[in-house]
Chains A and B, each alone.
Chain A
C-alpha cells in the first residue's frame, strides 16, 4: 500500500511539473493559442465541449472494442483450424503475415469505397489490424503443447475434441492473452486511423479520429489537445482492462499473470 502511494505521488508531481513546463514555454516564447494552447484553455475546452467529446470517445471505443472482440472470435477460430495440421499452417500462414504487413492507411480508402463511411467501416479496419497478432499467438499456444501431455490423453483414448477443450485451449490461454494485449493497443490506433478516412456518415458527428481532423481544419487547437488526451486515455483503459482480465483468468496457475499477485 505504501509503495503504491509513493508511486502515485511521484507520478502526480511529474504531472504537475509537465504542466508548469508547458505553461512556461507559452510565456517565454509568447506562443498564440492556435499553436499551443495553455493547460487552462485545454481544460476549458474539455469542460465546455464535454458532450461532443464523450460522443466521439464512445464511437471510437465502440469501434475499437467491436473490432477487437470480432478479431478475437475470428482469430481463435482461424487458429483452431491452423492447429489441425502443419499442412494447413504452411498453406495459409503467409496470408496472415500479409494481413499484418498491409498498410492499414492504404486499404482504408478501399473499405470506405465498399461499405461506406461510418461505425461499421471503422470497426472493420480495427478488426483487420487486430486479427494477425491474435491468430499468430493463439496458433503458437495451441501447437506448443508438451508431447507427453498429448500421450497422456491418448492413453485414455481421448477424442480430438477432448484434447482440444481440456488440453490445447487451456494451454493456449496465456498466448491468447498475449495476442489480445498486443491487439488491444493497436485496436484504438486502428480505429482512429480508420476514422481519419471513414469516420462519419453524418457531418459533425464522428469518432476521435474524425473530430481530430475536423478540429485541426478549424484550428481549434485547444480541442485538438483535448481529443489527443481522450485518445490516450482510451488506449490506457483498453490496456488495463486486458491486463485485469489476464490476471483474473490466469493468476491461479500461470507465472506471467502473477506479477500483480505478489504483495
Chain B
C-alpha cells in the first residue's frame, strides 16, 4: 500500500517534550518518540493516564512545540500542515450560540471560503453524517451522540488529510459509541484520511485501528507498537468474532504490563520530575 517514495502522513523522530525551567525541575512529558504513520493508517494511542497521549496529539496539531527531535506532517512543519489537519476534541466543543449548520461551517468560514461554496460543502457533509434534519437546531437541543456527529461533520467539512481525535467518544453510552465507531470507519472508507486516535477503551482501539501504540508513562514513551490484522470492512459482526476477542485480550495484557511497571516505578519519588 505504501512505497518508501511517499512521504508519511506523520513522521516523528526522537521527538521529546519537556515542561518547566531547569532550576525548578523539568517534567519530561514525552521522551524520544520515534514512529511513522503512513497515509490511510488508523493509529490508536492508548496508555495509562499521564503518559502524554493528549500532548502527542497537540504536538502533531502544531498547538504545542516539541523541545527536541523532529516532526514532519506530510513533509511539512505542523504549523504549515494545519490546513491538512482536523482536530476532534474530547467533548463536542460546539459553539452553543450557533446552529448545527453554523457550527459545521466554522472551519471553512475561518479559512475564508466564499459563502456559496462553503454552504454547498456543509450540506454535503451534513447528509454524510445523517444530520440534515437538524441543520437548524441549536446544540442544546441535541443528544450527546448527535453533538459528537456535528463535531465530526465540522472536522470533515474542511476535507482534512489527517484526523486527530482526543478521546472523542468517552462520554457516550456504549451503544451510541459502537454505532459512531462504525460510522467513522465508513467515512474513512469514503474519504481516505489518516487518523491518530487517543482512547482509554482497548475494544474501541482494536475495532478502529490498523495499528495501536501503547505508551508508557514517566516519561511518556512508546512501549508497544502493535499492528491490528483484523480484516476490513469491520462491522458489528467483527466485534463478535473470536479473533477480535483474542486481539483485545492481547492488547489489554500489553497495556496492563505497562501500567503495573509504571506504578511500581513511581514509588517514592515525584513522578517524571528530574531536578537539574
State the A residues within 8 Å of B (CB): 146, 148-149, 151-158, 162, 166-167, 170-171, 173, 252-255
Contacts and interface: CB of A to CB of B under 8 A. Distances in A.
Contacts, number: 58
B96 A155 contact: no
Contacts of A254: 96-97
Rank and list the top 5 A-B pairs by shortest CB-CB distance, nearest first. Answer: A156-B110, A148-B89, A253-B96, A253-B97, A170-B97
B111 interface: yes
B247 interface: no
B90 A155 contact: no
B95 A252 contact: no
Interface string B15-58: 00000000000000000000000000000000000000000001
A207 to B, nearest CB: 38
B134 to A, nearest CB: 14
B95 A151 contact: no
B73 to A, nearest CB: 12
A166 B111 CA distance: 13
A152 B87 contact: yes
A159 to B, nearest CB: 9
A154 B7 CA distance: 25
Contacts of B86: 155
A155 B140 contact: no
Given A151-B87, A154-B63, A157-B82, A173 B93 contact: no
B111 A173 contact: no
B85 interface: yes
Contact of B63 (A146, A151, A166, A173): A151
Contacts of A151: 58, 61, 63, 87, 89
A5 B109 CA distance: 48
B139 interface: yes
B63 A155 contact: yes
A167 B95 contact: yes
Contact of A155 (B61, B109, B138): B61
Interface in B48-107: 58, 61, 63, 82-83, 85-87, 89-91, 93, 95-98, 106-107
Nearest to B87: A155
A82 B98 CA distance: 26
Given A148-B90, A153-B110, A155-B63, A170 B85 contact: no
A42 B201 CA distance: 74
Nearest to B92: A148
A144 to B, nearest CB: 14
Interface string B176-188: 0000000000000
Given A152-B93, A155-B86, A253-B138, 8 more contacts: A148-B91, A149-B95, A151-B63, A156-B82, A158-B110, A166-B110, A173-B97, A254-B97
Contact of B93 (A148, A156, A162): A148
